Structure 1
């Protein structure tokens, strides 16, 4: 009884609730992928992995709107904020429609490029793209205003609906088709819109943003879009290239490896969501921002080491428990892939930190090494092991340069730990 009383007396902050929620959402997404891997087998799972990768690509593209919305939701207030949000929604709708139409229009070409069994799955997926961009702007408002309860609900709604609808169609109707995966993803975009504030979409009163505001928004949008493009390349190009260069069975094996190894990145993403509005607010108040960076780097480094050690010690056990015996051929590569992902996760924290401070050199650095990783895999893909090795090389170099840039800029400043403009 005393323990319960002590737990009740300790209040949980909104940030902590969000972190718990993100862990639950990531767990649900992992469960979704793991069940698909077991139900479909390596060959069919390779098709599902393409759609899941497209979903990740879409999430990074839409993240541009979310981060822009989050940052300026901190800086703007009252009527300026309402006008800004209305403009972002309209632009997000236009971009979403254009991207959706492109995916639908090139569905047949995408089928040939990625050796999938159907083009219909791309058409269904394309129909949901505008909804995802709307959802991302909505999340950006919650993130910027630190409305973590509402932000948690949107992620939970998306995850749960995708999990239940997809698995329901597969299990109860015995439909093992990539189109079913696409239908589940489309439905999850609708549920992910909840809760949605329609007042932000069409405010009663709008004002014209000043030239200074418009310039700052456009500059941040362009840089963020460029950085999210590098995220797409680094995070997803390997799966798509493996699907292109290797047979479906090997591509399915690699997809299972990537899913397990990327757990570090998905955990790191939780800290990125908390990092950006916090750094922007500290900068706005003229306070030192470096300690928050050290805090999150420490968290990610600790988590990365633990995950890599577990993957190194029990690779076959992990793969067997999660995907089954058919995927154990990837066991020797598990800790290596986790290493590459850990390096990227740590580099990512530095890049988003500087992005929050309107310092864009680390963003360009990430772009260069994203292209380097892609180029290395294109030229060196004799085996799946070689593909993983190329990623380790690129990501270790990226982290070394990002850390070096931090210490170099710290020495230049009169106050070594102050990165304020």
Structure 2
């Protein structure tokens, strides 16, 4: 009783609640992937990994709308905000319908490129794409307004529904098919829409945004879209290229490696969600923004080092506990892959920080090294180990350049202040 009374006295802040929620969501998503890996085995899990990777690609593409919505939800109020939201929802729906149609039309071609057992899984996935874009705008409003309770709920409902529905269909009907996984993903998009607070999305008479506002929105949208494209390339191209160049068994092994190694990035994403609205608000108030950057970089660096050391010390134990003995061949590569994702996670914090400040050089830098990583894997893929090494090279260069830019920009800003 004393323990619970202490919890009531120390009220959990919304930001802390969101962080706990993100950890729970990531844990649920990991459980989802781990169970699929154990039930399906390496060869069949390779097909599932393609769908999961498509889901990640979709999340990055839709993140453009979420970040734009989040930023301008901080800056806009009242009628301007309502007009802005209506416009974003219209554009998000249009883009979602276009992307979904393309996936459905080219489902057969996607099956051939990624050597999957079925094209129907891409068709089912395509129908869910518009829903995901609408869901992302809804989340952007919650993020910008710092309504972390509602933001937590929408992530929780998406994760839980995907976990329960997918595994329920597989275990109850004993259907180990990639189409079942696609159905679970589609259903999770529907549940992820809740809570949905904006009923009058497309009013007949809406305030027309000024040219200045429209220009600012368009400019930020283009830059953010470019950056999210680099995220797609860096975060997902390796799995898709491995699926293309290697046999299904090896691709399934690599998918398990990527899933474990990327835990650093998914934890970093939690801090990015808090970083953007905070930096925009501090800039709006004329306050210093660098301390919040240092705070989150410190968190990610500490978490990264811990995960790398654990992966180095207990690789076989981790692989066996999470995926089983069938995936044990990946144990020697686990800590090396964790190094690559750790450097990417830290670089990512810098890029999102500058994106919040309307400084876009780090975004271009990420784009360059995202393409470099993909080219290195395309030309050097004699083994899975070589694929991992190519990513380490690309991400190390990316982090070094980002740090050099930060030092340059800080020196430049300090000189400007001294002149004033």
Taking structure 1 as the reference length, what is the TM-score of the superposition? 0.98
Q: Write the distance in 1 (CA, Å) between the matches of 2:417 and 2:271.
A: 21
Could you list the per-position Cα deviations for residues 169-203 of structure 1 after superposition, in whole angstroms to 9, with x for gaps in the alignment? 00000000000000000000000000012335135
Q: How much does 1:50 deviate? A: 0.1
Q: Write the distance in 2 (CA, Å) between the matches of 1:364 and 1:74.
A: 25
User: Where does residue 370 of structure 2 map in the other structure?
Assistant: 370
What is the count of residue pairs matched by the alignment? 418
Q: How much does 1:58 deviate? A: 0.2
> Secondary structure of the residue that 1:176 maps to in structure 2?
coil
Q: Write the distance in 1 (CA, Å) between the matches of 2:416 and 2:43.
A: 53
User: Where does residue 347 of structure 2 map in the other structure?
Assistant: 347
Q: How much does 1:40 deviate? A: 0.2
Change over 3 Å in CA distance of 1:48–1:93 after alignment to 2: same
User: Where does residue 380 of structure 2 map in the other structure?
Assistant: 380
User: Where does residue 186 of structure 1 map in the other structure?
Assistant: 186
Q: How much does 1:415 deviate? A: 6.2
User: Where does residue 269 of structure 1 map in the other structure?
Assistant: 269
Change over 3 Å in CA distance of 1:155–1:50 after alignment to 2: same
User: Where does residue 14 of structure 1 map in the other structure?
Assistant: 14
1:242 and 1:251 in contact (8 A); partners too: yes
1:132-211 aligned within 5 A? 132-199=132-199, 201-203=201-203, 206-211=206-211
1:71 and 1:144 in contact (8 A); partners too: yes
> Secondary structure of the residue that 1:155 maps to in structure 2?
helix
1:410 and 1:417 in contact (8 A); partners too: no
Unaligned runs of 5+ in 2: none
Q: Write the distance in 1 (CA, Å) between the matches of 2:417 and 2:394.
A: 28
Change over 3 Å in CA distance of 1:417–1:97 after alignment to 2: farther
User: Where does residue 258 of structure 1 map in the other structure?
Assistant: 258
User: Where does residue 64 of structure 1 map in the other structure?
Assistant: 64
User: Where does residue 293 of structure 1 map in the other structure?
Assistant: 293
1:153 and 1:195 in contact (8 A); partners too: yes
Could you list the per-position Cα deviations for residues 45-101 of structure 1 after superposition, in whole angstroms to 9, with x for gaps in the alignment? 000000000000000000000000000000000000000000000000000000000
1:85 and 1:200 in contact (8 A); partners too: no
Taking structure 2 as the reference length, what is the TM-score of the superposition? 0.98
Q: Write the distance in 1 (CA, Å) between the matches of 2:2 and 2:121.
A: 55
Q: Write the distance in 1 (CA, Å) between the matches of 2:227 and 2:264.
A: 19
1:265 and 1:341 in contact (8 A); partners too: yes
Q: Write the distance in 2 (CA, Å) between the matches of 1:200 and 1:371.
A: 41
Q: Write the distance in 1 (CA, Å) between the matches of 2:163 and 2:145.
A: 29
Q: How much does 1:416 deviate? A: 8.7
1:290 and 1:417 in contact (8 A); partners too: no
User: Where does residue 390 of structure 1 map in the other structure?
Assistant: 390
